[in-house]
Amino acid sequence: MQKKISYKLKKTNNLLKKKILKKNNNKIILKKNQVNTYLNKIKKEIINNTYGWTIELLLNGIGYKSFYINKLLILDLGYSNLITYKISKHIKVWNLKTKLFFFSFNEIYLKNLINKIKKLSLPNIYTGKGILYNNEIIKLKSKKIR
């Protein structure tokens, strides 16, 4: 048996009327899959606010090091200059030289920062050198034999 959930809205957008919602006598009836999407978004927000998100990065390579001093993340990735990032107050960082642990209650801030850091040194397919996630596996190419 299908349950119909209805909500009363004072003003509705024309695009919403045409694409998503069906209107019957000032009541808007949502389809089952629309209700599920809203419920999934609410569940995700509850998880964000109670547990938070953690990501671990590995600095794989000789000479790859990291330092965390006064809200500054300093990375030595073998380039001529050190790379520095100012970490926002929403993210906590734990540093173990070649391992970095990031924690945040906001998933968006965390993933944006991680993507910026990973783009600095993408994993090399021949040597395996680069910045990797904790459980990331790289299939290395074999060397040519003459």
Distance of CA 55 to the CA centre of its chain: 9
Please report the pLDDT score of residue 31 as a whole number.
Answer: 67
Average pLDDT in the chain: 80
Please report the pLDDT score of residue 114 as a whole number.
Answer: 93
Nearest to 116 by CA among 127, 102, 128: 102
**DSSP code of 137?**
-
Which of 21-35, 38-52, 109-123 has the highest mean predicted lDDT (pLDDT)? Answer: 109-123
Report which secondary-structure segment, H or E, holds 144: none
Q: Which residues pair with 96 in a beta bridge?
A: 99
Least reliable range by pLDDT among 2-6, 30-34, 59-63, 82-86: 2-6
Least reliable range by pLDDT among 48-52, 53-57, 95-99: 48-52
Neighbours of 130 (CB within 10 A): 20
Q: Name the band, by pLDDT with cuts 50, 70 and 90, for residue 13.
A: very low
Q: How far apart are CA 31 and CA 71, in angstroms?
A: 47
- Residue 57 clears pLDDT 90, i.e. is over it: yes
- Say which CATH class 53-133 falls into: alpha beta
Domain ranges of the chain: 12-50, 53-133
User: Rounded mean pLDDT of 108-116?
Assistant: 91
- Residue 102 clears pLDDT 80, i.e. is over it: yes
Please report the pLDDT score of residue 26 as a whole number.
Answer: 59
Q: Are 131 and 59 in contact (CB under 8 A)?
A: yes
Q: How far apart are CA 83 and CA 75, in angstroms?
A: 5
Query: In sequence order, which residues have a C-beta less than 8 Å from that of residue 3 and are 6 or more positions away?
Result: none
- Residue 6 clears pLDDT 70, i.e. is over it: no
Q: Which residues pair with 76 in a beta bridge?
A: 65
Please report the pLDDT score of residue 28 as a whole number.
Answer: 61
Q: 0.85 exceeded by the pTM?
A: no
